[in-house]
Amino acid sequence: MNRAEMYRRLRSHGGPWDLIVVGGGATGVGVAIDGASRGYDVLLVEQSDFGKGTSSRSTKLAHGGVRYLEQGNVSLVMEALRERGLMLQNAPHLVRNLGFVVPNYDWWEAPFYGIGLKLYNLLAGKYGFGDSRILSREETLERLPTINTGGLRGGVIYFDGQFDDSRMLINLAATAAEQGAVLINYAQVIGLLKDNDAFVNGVAVRDMETGEEFEAAAKVVINATGPFTDDLRRKAEPDTQPMIAPSQGIHLVFDGSFLAGDNAIMVPHTSDGRVMFALPWHGHTLVGTTDTPVAEAALEPVAQEQEIEFVLGTASLYLAKKPTRGDVTSIFAGIRPLVRAGDSANTAALSRGHTIRIENSGMVTICGGKWTTYRHMAEDCVNQAAILGRLEERPCVTGHLNIHGFHSSAARFGRLSVYGSDAPAIEKLGEADPSLAGPLHGALPYSAAEVVWAAREEMARTVEDVLARRTRALFLNARAAIEMAPRVAALMARELGWNAAREQAQLQAFHETAHGFLPG
């Protein structure tokens, strides 16, 4: 992927696009893949970096959602379990099967969760990840050597998917490009174009790097802006009623010693009645999340003090080594684009199903849903858009479409396994120039070769793109990421031809963002 090449393809495109997708998160990029792989002409514009919004800030589970089963939402669970299976099938380099242990401290928990989790696995049918079963106290301790043992009776284990969300997104963007879509990051939709009947038939875009503006015409414009859905809807119809109830969720990250072994803890009922996870992720321990209604969406949301205290308090109940604020290596917050249901103040109870809405203006809005269901959401959306735009009817092919980087035994690439089939090319960069080979920081494995790769092949445009979403440095260890930043900026300056002032400005901007990931 190369931004200049994307612009070249944009400029050489004649006539209206079949589909213009606004928003480069899981939803929008999923729609771009679906549309392009059916043979439609697709342009996608993202105001910031691909995945800058919610899609890099999830719990990173490809899951059916045990909680939704408890809420009786069987159809959502079945849909998500099928999609989980397809995600693993199409992107095995990024999705893995992980054991989740529900620790039991009361006598009734083993039979209760044992039956529920059997049903969860049954619903997965041929896409099952493995049988759930009841564990003795000893077996629980074998799987979770650092769990709080006080009062521990045993556990129930079940299996679900874990993935790297922003790496998946970058590979999805590459897949869309390979299917013929044009995707441009740092390009914000600032207005909608309308025909004589007031139907939306294009977008006005500002390039956020140069400030230049351009227009692009489309048979259908798709609003996939996640938490910002209502902003774009208002651009189409100023009086429209909001449909999003934004809800914030945060995660705390610790070093890997807090959750030794390679299994996750699933807490089915926290003190506020939610689910919480402690997960092993890239050698660290990830704990979350919360569900806090917020008045409006921000592109860089900030964790609230009570959310941090709540996650720390809950983690302390289940981990032998009680984490404190001083142990936190990174904090990240994301906003769920949940679809409103009346005046409900409880966002945890809102449906995680998706909604597709054809606005009076003819714009198609797609929102809600889950990362796990992005493919199915896209299929539904393109089906609707094709009818609306009178596009030639063509079947969806993404059920069995390999995602860029697909590799059936990527584990052989060790720490580069998330790059899948791209890993050898990154290794070669390090072999050709040994100064690119070693880690950039003692606390994290990332090398200069990955920075160069990100700038050359993955449309990374800023220091933050590299440290937050091409690598996960900022999400794992914010302080280490800050210490890596000058070297990353120098490498990017060389690759992208930045002058000294731009390099400095980039560093400054990264520091400001990274500050929000520090425990304070």
Ligand X SMILES: Cc1cc2nc3c(=O)[nH]c(=O)nc-3n(C[C@H](O)[C@H](O)[C@H](O)COP(=O)(O)OP(=O)(O)OC[C@H]3O[C@@H](n4cnc5c(N)ncnc54)[C@H](O)[C@@H]3O)c2cc1C
Binding site for ligand X (CB under 6 A): 22-28, 45-48, 52-55, 57-61, 63, 188-189, 224-228, 232, 249, 289, 299, 334-337, 369-372
**β-strand 42-45 against 182-184: which pairing, if any?**
parallel
Minimum CB distance to ligand X smaller for 6 or for 335: 335
Minimum CB distance to ligand X smaller for 57 or for 67: 57
- Dmax over Cα atoms in the chain, in whole Å? 72
Among 77, 75, 85, 163, CA closest to 127: 85
- For the CB of residue 354, give the shortest distance to ligand X in the complex, in Å: 8
Contact 422/414 with Cβ under 8 angstroms?
Answer: no
All residues at 6 or more sequence positions from 31 whose CB lies less than 8 Å from its CB, including other chains: 19, 21, 42, 44, 222, 224, 366, 377, 378, 381, 382
- For the CB of residue 436, give the shortest distance to ligand X in the complex, in Å: 30
Strands (E), 16-130: 17-22, 42-45, 61-62, 95-104
Among 237, 226, 259, 445, CA closest to 354: 226
- For the CB of residue 383, give the shortest distance to ligand X in the complex, in Å: 18
Calpha distance 333→288 (Å, rounded): 10
Minimum CB distance to ligand X smaller for 202 or for 249: 249
Contact 56/50 with Cβ under 8 angstroms?
Answer: no
- For the CB of residue 495, give the shortest distance to ligand X in the complex, in Å: 23
Minimum CB distance to ligand X smaller for 114 or for 226: 226
Minimum CB distance to ligand X smaller for 109 or for 160: 160
Minimum CB distance to ligand X smaller for 247 or for 477: 247
Minimum CB distance to ligand X smaller for 303 or for 485: 303
- For the CB of residue 183, give the shortest distance to ligand X in the complex, in Å: 11
- Residue-wise burial string across 31-45, b where 16 or more C-beta atoms lie within 10 A, e elsewhere: bbbbbbbbebbbbbb
- For the CB of residue 508, give the shortest distance to ligand X in the complex, in Å: 21
In what helix (H) or strand (E) does residue 489 lie, and over which residues does it extend? Answer: helix 478-496
Contact 139/301 with Cβ under 8 angstroms?
Answer: no
State both tokens at 162: 């874990």
- For the CB of residue 84, give the shortest distance to ligand X in the complex, in Å: 9
